[in-house]
Structure 1
């Protein structure tokens, strides 16, 4: 094992000693990246404006590049010839749809109203976050936790399709219709189907096509053995480099907003932490209960827990303004999600020993 290779962390055992420095201290690097971003945003005047000057689909160009770099290596590892084994798993697909599009939005709606009854702007922002299902960073968390890459690719693609079709309608339901039925305050969002589809095409479509072509052309010209033993170890580390870069830029853009309102951040963080714990725990328990095996149970749990904060932030800014409480709630999302899901990676790996067998492929 070389230091440059991307190795996924394992539960504490002698194997951990063979991990690269990057992987062994991953939580430290992520924490430092968050701190560096916050300090840069706070201490360097005009940095946020400079980073936001050029945008791709409403997202800062540096963040867009970081997301693409982050997602490509993991999608290049997917064995696309095995996707049929995932699409035929109805338990996995139905479970994912229920958790992501029924349980997730309803849980965030309930938590937002229960824990933020006096803060309507933050409450609305969190509900928007709950509607934006993850299509990006979940791939990284799943890979680090030794989940099923092929299953992650299929579930992310499925989420993307439902996001295009259902986001605006669910936003109308949870922000206008349901509060009206319950006698609560009503609001609304401005998010067209095309805007959402474009975001999916850019941030998922590009790295997905690139990953598919890399494997197809690489295996055709040099063979699978060369592709997985020579090519993948070279591009693999760029997934974590892209993740760390994205975190630095994201927090640099929002550093002032986060550090200037610490009490508000704390209020927003509470429902987010509860949400991540319940969604991940519920997904993991459900997957284990129906016998999916460790790899696919892990994939189901992280897909259920993750959210597309890029989309949520873009919608909040477009609808309520960059300085709004709704936008701040979206910005706080990754501040809480990143350390929470990194911690859940290690929880998942610790639970791995409880599985007596695993269904689906074991990745090299």
Structure 2
């Protein structure tokens, strides 16, 4: 993890301050940015989102899907957590905390929007930072790559239906046209562009050419993320100053779902008899979110001023420190985990990674 990535939480906090300050000093600029829309797609944000997403998707080799069967237990557990547990558990936590327990402390007009943002955040598994988490847990690299490639493939067809279903169950109006457009614009097209560019680079210059481009694009991707957050907080400043506890309250269901899903994935892998080098990244993939896509989708569906957009940004704010604690737990519990394999000769003889 680069120094910049390690302190992502600090940069996000600074973006909150800068965005709120600029929103007061330059309200006309932010109004002009918000008005730059075509078919409900904000053009400046669309450019920034592509700069965020495409470098991450360049890392994904969809040919690695041929390795999916190699660690079928871990793959099965992660898919179950990502698509059958996490979005629904987040919706339930949103209803419990935002719609009920915290309702008196939140703006009444934004309750449904906050829940929508939490659902959107949980509906897309992490695609990029998970490689960092996997490395920190000495994870099996082929498993991580094939799992991420499989999740990206599923996300193309499953993101919109799951979001639409859970928004409908939450009695939130589903803007289906905008939702489908967001999937095409922020998932389908970036995947196509990234894979075409990846194959072209590998064909012309091999892996060194791809690595060189990724090194150049990495800082651009993070700067684009931070610029998006400055814009978002430029619009959200008045709401945050009026309700300073909003961010802390929205963080509660996110924190619970991270630890719940990570713990469930970790335990299920142990029960299934999977190796620790697979269980670690499985738990982290099951817990982390594709927050870049979530921010883009929330802005497209509900706008800059929405509680949904703010809720997804809270996920960005706590991503790094929370996931680092999950990494610490996974690493410290390796001995406990591997004692579960003592009755399984095939696992006891498996090579350790790292």
Please say whether Structure 1 and Structure 2 have the same fold, judged by a TM-score greater than 0.5. yes
Residue 345 of structure 2: aligned partner? none
> 1: distance between equivalents of 2:161 and 2:292?
19
TM-score using structure 2 length: 0.77
- Check conservation: 2:201, 2:209, Cα contact below 8 A: yes
| Closer/same/farther in 2, CA of residues 314 and 24 from structure 1, 3 Å limit | closer
What is the alpha-carbon distance in structure 2 between the residues aligned to residue 335 and residue 39 of structure 1?
17
Runs of 4+ in 1 over 6 A off after TM superposition: 304-307
Instruction: Pick from 165, 173, 176 the counterpart of residue 189 of structure 1.
Output: 173
Say which of 192, 195, 198 aligns to 1:212. 195
The residue number in structure 2 matching 1:132 is: 120
Q: Is this contact kept in 2: 1:111–1:275, CA < 8 A? A: yes
Point out where structure 1 has 5 or more consecutive residues left out of the alignment: 1-7, 9-18, 176-187
Aligned CA RMSD, in angstroms, stands at 3.2
Q: 1:211 to 1:48 in 2, by over 3 A?
A: same
Determine the structure 2 residue equivalent to 1:41: 23
Q: Name 1:3's counterpart in structure 2.
A: none
1:239 equivalent in structure 2: 221
Other-structure match for 2:183: 200
1:247-262 correspondence to structure 2 within 5 Å: 247-259=229-241, 261=242
Which moved further from structure 2: 215-224 or 141-150? 141-150
Contact 2:60–2:148 (CA under 8 A) maintained in structure 1: no
SS in 1 for 2:175: coil
Task: From the superposition, tell whether residues 299 and 56 of structure 1 become closer, same or farther in structure 2 (CA, over 3 Å).
Answer: farther
Instruction: Name whichever of 268-277 and 153-162 sits farther off.
Output: 153-162
Q: Give the CA deviation at 1:69.
A: 0.5
CA contact (8 A) 2:167 2:173 kept: yes
Kept after mapping to 2: 8 A contact 1:34/1:251:
yes
- C-alpha deviations, 1:295-346, integer Å up to 9, x for none? 23211110399982443444445xxxx87xxx2x224314422221122132
Matched, 1:27 2:35: no
Quote the offset at 1:136 in angstroms.
7.3
Equivalent residue in structure 2 for 1:223, among 195, 203, 206: 206
Q: Distance in 2 between matches of 1:133 and 1:84?
A: 29
Q: Distance in 1 between matches of 2:59 and 2:235?
A: 31
Partners of 1:133 and 1:159 within 8 A in 2: no
C-alpha separation between the residues in 1 aligned to 2:200 and 2:288?
30
Choose between structure 1 and 2: higher helix proportion.
2
Q: Deviations over 1:57-89 (max 9, x none)?
A: 534322221111011111111122112434852
Counterpart of 1:165 in structure 2 is 161
Please list every run of 5 or more consecutive structure 2 residues that lacks an aligned counterpart in the other structure.
Answer: 136-143, 270-277, 339-349
The reply on whether 1:96 has 2:92 as its aligned counterpart is no
* C-alpha distance after superposition, 1:6-61 (max 9, x if no partner): xx2xxxxxxxxxx5x53454333332223222211121131221111212553432
CA shift at 1:248, angstroms?
1.7
Instruction: Tell me whether 156-165 or 97-106 shows the greater mean CA deviation.
Output: 156-165
Aligned to 2:65: 83
Q: Which moved more, 1:94-103 or 1:272-281?
A: 94-103
What corresponds to 1:182 in structure 2?
none
2:291–2:316 CA contact under 8 A, matched in 1: no
1:276–1:57 Cα change, 3 Å: farther
The CA distance in 2 between the partners of 1:94 and 1:35, in whole Å, is: 38
The residue that corresponds to 1:274 in the other structure is 252
Who is 2:266 aligned against?
288
Matched residues in 1 for 2:289 and 2:186: separation? 16
Structure-2 residue corresponding to 1:298: 284
CA distance in 1, matches of 2:123, 2:200: 25
CA contact (8 A) 2:6 2:320 kept: no
Tell me the residue number matched to 2:92.
Answer: 106
